[in-house]
Amino acid sequence: EEEKTLAMIKPDGVLGNYTERIKMVIVESGFSIIRETITQLDEHRASNFYVEHSSKSFFSGLIKYMTSGPVLVMILKKENAVADWRTLIGPTDAQKAKITHPHSIRAMCGLDSEKNCVHGSDSLESAQREISFFFGEISSGDAVGEH
Ligand code: CMP
């Protein structure tokens, strides 16, 4: 079944000029990029996006990181998109990814467990919430191949 997921290139990825390389991997892996937007998160929006982590010790560092520059947000579509995008980005800790998942996107451009270059929704429910967060409600029939 076709699914949509939210992919984000974080500030280190955008500022490090990884955008085109990452989009190449996305398309070569069979995803369609159906929407994309570049935006700068402020503290309020970043905290809201990551509200489930608000009690974690790394939260304030995470918000500082996520507001340090622009992010590129995309809706990816494909069969099994949620799980497949998570597999493609690799484990949260980019340092570990370089060892255990050397072909993953985080191994390519991430730095550590915080500055890990990309984000992916962790479930279908998160994907729906995160897509609405950035793009508003998207109808299920939204055009394939639309940019
Ligand atoms: P992401 O997959 O976007 O979801 C939550 C983010 O919090 C994660 O990527 C990292 O950027 C950050 N994060 C998760 N775990 C840690 C950690 N142990 N230390 C610092 N940052 C973390």
**pLDDT for res 14:** 98
- 34-80 pLDDT, tens digit each: 999 999 999 999 999 999 999 999 999 999 999 999 999 999 999 99
Residue 125 lies in a domain: yes
Cα 134 to averaged position of ligand 1 atoms, centre (Å): 19
Residue 77 lies in a domain: yes
Question: Annotated catalytic residue: which of 44, 53, 103, 119?
Answer: 119
Secondary structure class of 7 (helix, strand, coil):
strand
In this structure, the residues whose C-beta lies within 6 A of any atom of ligand 1 are 53, 58, 61-62, 92, 113-114, 116, 119
Residue 140 lies in a domain: no
With bands split at pLDDT 50, 70 and 90, how would you rate the model's confidence at 1?
confident
- For the chain, give the percent of residues with pLDDT over 90: 92
Residue 89 lies in a domain: no
- Residue 119 appears among annotated catalytic residues: yes
Residue whose C-alpha is closest to residue 83's, from 4, 20, 9: 4
Residue 50 lies in a domain: yes
Residue 40 lies in a domain: yes
The b/e string for 92-116 (b: 16+ C-beta within 10 A; e otherwise) is ebbebbbeebeebbbbbbbeeebbb
Least confident of 30-34, 51-55, 138-142: 138-142
Q: Could you give the count of Cα atoms lying within 13 Å of 110 in the half-sphere of its Cβ?
A: 28
DSSP structure class, residue 133: H
**pLDDT for res 86:** 98
- 95-113 pLDDT, tens digit each: 999 999 999 999 999 999 9
Numbered residues of the known binding site for ATP: 10, 58, 86, 92, 106, 116
Q: Where in the sequence is the domain holding 74, given as residue range(s)?
A: 2-81+121-135
Residue 143 lies in a domain: no
Tell me the two tokens of residue 132. Answer: 């609405």
> How many domains does the chain contain in total?
1
Judging by DSSP bridges, how do beta strands 118-120 and 32-40 pair with one another?
Answer: unpaired
Whether the complex's predicted ipTM is more than 0.95 is answered with yes
CATH number at residue 128: 3.30.70.141
Residue 141 pLDDT greater than 70, yes or no: no
Cα 15 to averaged position of ligand 1 atoms, centre (Å): 18
Residue 143 pLDDT greater than 60, yes or no: no
- 123-137 pLDDT, tens digit each: 999 999 999 999 998
**pLDDT for res 146:** 42
Cα 115 to averaged position of ligand 1 atoms, centre (Å): 8
Residue 86 lies in a domain: no
Residue whose C-alpha is closest to residue 5's, from 25, 26, 28: 26
User: For residues 3 and 109, what is the distance between their CA atoms, to the nearest angstrom?
Assistant: 26
